[in-house]
Structure 1
């Protein structure tokens, strides 16, 4: 299987048509779940008329991904109860399969006053493998701000590695005051766990800022190959691009953004920005789901590694 090179875009897969109240716009942060054969359920985050994130899904055949075979009529995850960490949105960020069901890690949104928003990471679980029915593990978050991480945590990648669980997650390091309003800065840190619920966070930075002008590094997607760990992620100063890094131990990473193998198109739905990659292998090929313009407002597409 080809593990590194140039990505060939296969086109846009799905964008909401605005007909569903909870899915007016956006199909952001796509996640692929294998259903057997060439079938995949793709989870994504949509927004209602008030801009609140809901998690939904479509089913596709990866050999003809432009054809939507099924669509969830109701959200898999909806915003939480009033005052909870996710009352302004529940945005899925990673799916980790287990023998007794799947774990859906998601971003809980709160709207702010002094700053626009605050995020934390929640967990929902399914009762059976490959089931689109999830229940919240707890009403509160499993990864939130702490004494040493005082702002917020968000999008994550969670992989099981033997008895250990590994997480790479977005960590906000500051808000800066700009003429246009508060501007966040976040990069990617690393955590470990024995159960996938309780996490040890030692402040280890996996992907750090390339310059003082960089304001966002998000949505890590990690793949372990025989010789190296690989990560694709989003980064931006003004407009998102997809970056790439390599590691020998999954902890210390070397950024090689010029080797990500994918960039914006000359025109169309992903010509202005490209972000939120999800990389997965199937039938000897490596695929990437990703978003384009407007942080998912133009839907998501798929590419294959040539």
Structure 2
């Protein structure tokens, strides 16, 4: 695959208290023939994330049309699983003006650094406003997935909500810092609200150097089958790199990381890290939105597939 990087699309200018920095985990959804809405997580001065959106031109995804003036959701109530920030990961059309927004909530720990569990918010006006489905997660911790059940990505397929996510229960020490170990898993739901207590493992960390995957994104290929974009976290260095896989059924995957060919660029905003790639097919053109160094501190960028 050969990509043309189109550069940074949007970075917060710092004029809003709730969105003073970062534009993390870009999550695109075409809301009209002319507009792609890119849902992102902005951070306040304390590094706490709240979801918002950036509308871009579907014919030129580097052209910003509109930015949300208020957060789509605020921090969770004290003691809740998302009291320390929300990370938007997937937005699923459910018919009409209804959207399901799946997000990872941050809960700080004492004997572990944090938990990441999946929450659900619902919009009935096409993504202008959202409300929480519940103050507790829809992917709650379980015996098999005690600490991490986050990074959700959903597709609606013949009335079934198919959900890919990351999960794990273990931690390792990397240069004196405790880091989670998690793999990529899969569950299904009839209503997008009630999910099994644990998922089927789709991708395991394959190398001794790997210890986790970032938010997976799955889209259908125009000629059949599925594409999977994800991020890979390694023990040898903290920064993410991108991974890629293909599947006929969305369950059995063939890793093709080297085939993706979308990597860091020396001297640029993504010189040390590249992560959270989210694809969107617009007509004949495939785009990905992604973050670079420091988890999107410099905003989010876009790349266009030039050839397979």
1:212 deviates by: 2.2
When residues 175 and 148 of structure 1 are mapped into structure 2, their CA distance, relative to the original with a 3 A threshold, is: same
**Helix, strand or coil at the partner of 1:303:** strand
Contact 2:89–2:215 (8 Å) recurs in 1:
yes
1:107 aligns with 2:104: yes
| 1:179 CA displacement | 4.4
CA contact (8 A) 1:144 1:152 kept: no
Residue by residue over 1:239-258, the C-alpha shift from the partner in whole angstroms, topping out at 9 and shown as x without a partner, is 21110011122112121110
User: Which residue of the partner structure matches residue 119 of structure 2?
Assistant: 122
Q: Is the 8 A contact 1:119 1:154 kept in 2?
A: yes
Secondary structure of residue in 2 paired with 1:298: coil
Correspondence list, 1:174-253, <5 A: 174-225=170-221, 226-237=223-234, 238=237, 239-253=239-253
State how far apart, in whole Å, the 1-side matches of 2:261 and 2:224 are.
19
For structure 2, the residue ranges without an aligned partner over 5 or more in a row are: none
Separation of aligned partners in 2, 1:102 and 1:7: 30
Deviations 1:202-228 (A, max 9, x none): 541111102122122111111122332
Identify which range, 195-204 or 217-226, moves more after superposition. Answer: 195-204
Alignment check: 8 A CA contact 1:191 1:201 kept = no
Could you give the per-residue CA deviations for residues 238-282 of structure 1, whole angstroms, max 9, x where no partner exists? 221110011122112121110113111132111111000111111
In 1, Cα distance between the equivalents of 2:196 and 2:112? 27
Alpha-carbon spacing, 1:71–1:202, altered in 2? closer, same or farther (3 Å): closer
Calculate the TM-score normalised by the size of structure 2. 0.93
Partner SS for 2:54: strand
Corresponding position of 1:80: 76
Please identify runs of 4+ aligned residues in structure 1 that moved more than 4 A. none
Cα shift readout 1:136-156 (whole Å, capped 9, x = no counterpart): 011111002101111221111
Coordinate RMSD, CA, aligned: 1.5
Give deviations 1:145-202, integer Å, cap 9, x for gaps.
1011112211111001102211110112411234423121111111111111111255
TM-score w.r.t. structure 1 length?
Answer: 0.94
Counterparts in 2 of 1:262 and 1:178: CA distance versus 1, 3 Å: closer
Residue segments in structure 1 that go unaligned for 5+ positions in a row: none
3-state DSSP of counterpart to 1:114: coil
- How far apart, in 2, do the equivalents of 1:164 and 1:82 lie? 34
Structure 1 position 114, deviation (Å): 1.8
> Partner residue of 2:26?
30
Query: 13, 16, 21: which one pairs with 1:17?
Result: 13
What is the aligned length? 301
